[in-house]
Amino acid sequence: MNSKKKAFTLMRREFVTSSTSALMASSFTPRALAFGESSQPARAPSRVIIDTDPGVDDALALLLAMRSPELKIEGITPVAGNVPLELTLPNALRMVEIAGRTDIPVAVGAKAPLVRRLVSAAYAHGENGLGGAVFPEPKTKPVAEPAPEFIRQVVRKYPHEVTLITIGPLTNIATALNGDAELAGIVKSLVMMGGSLSGGNITPAAEFNIYVDPEAARIVFQSGIPITMVGLDVTRKTALTEDYVRQLEAGQNPVSQAAAKIARSAIAHNRQQGFAVDPHMHDSLAVAAFLDPSLLKFEDYYVDVETAGELTAGETLGYSPVAGDLRRRSDAGNQTAPNMPIRGSAPTLASTRTSPVLRDKFVPNAKVAVDVDSARFFELLIGRLAGKP
């Protein structure tokens, strides 16, 4: 990357404008939304593409998105992750049919990460990705364009209007960015379920989506796209309980019944596997964060991804001048915080590098969710899925 492009990327990473800050206000409001309600003034639906690897929580996230009138879903792009693409693709098509939204294009994504062999999570999602819940084979067919090209075409058609909601490994997104040098500059924003500042869920260091394709994640974090990261720091607070399943079962619509079936199967699978906690609604929370940002609290970080570590590949590192032992005073007279260096590993004796400093100035590239009103989130999720359209 040349110096001009680096400068542009760093400048664009200063994406936290006053309007975005207002939208991402950290104060919690009294209650979540019922189906069809919005905490924001009435406006045109937001154009989104949902990149996903269904997956139990992905399936419920897709159903939530398709039951949310605030969204204009331009497409769904399945990717290999929780289970192989041979399962994530038909699972996405099944959710589209269950929701009665066969108008939404589904584009076939990557079968494998950029440079690694696929590691899947059938241990958590069952062999079919839906916790063992069985549905008919989908009749809907995907579109002809592969996912990266589909993403590129949609973003090019609607420059500065499309938000990417990514709830799986980031292979499709990184491939699209690698194939079009100008694409990152015309993506409106990206809301991801991925990463963690507090330890992983597949290794002690890494969250699953980032672990599967850390090289792709690093491309996305360094792209300059305004990013909202909804990671394990908050999604661990969204356990799906029996009471929520019963509420879904009481819903008198196909979406609620399908969600209940998947949820009950997932809870049973978790217990069979000996997990000590109920399934977390990781991906639904990312969708909810876009629908109603006031559900969460956010802080600005510079986030990077470990790609070289034998034990830490996929770890997301968050740098902040106001968090951790290196935090700076926040008084108005202190001018050192913006100059906080971003350090990598110390150079080895065999290396030609002379400094471990990767960035000499703190510039945030992500808003990271650090707290969530879990009760309000479930009011939104269950209300949308179980409510009447």
Nearest C-alpha neighbor of 192 from the set 218, 231, 225, 222: 231
Active site residue 125: no
125, 269, 280, 282: which one is catalytic? Answer: 282
Give the residue numbers marked as catalytic: 282
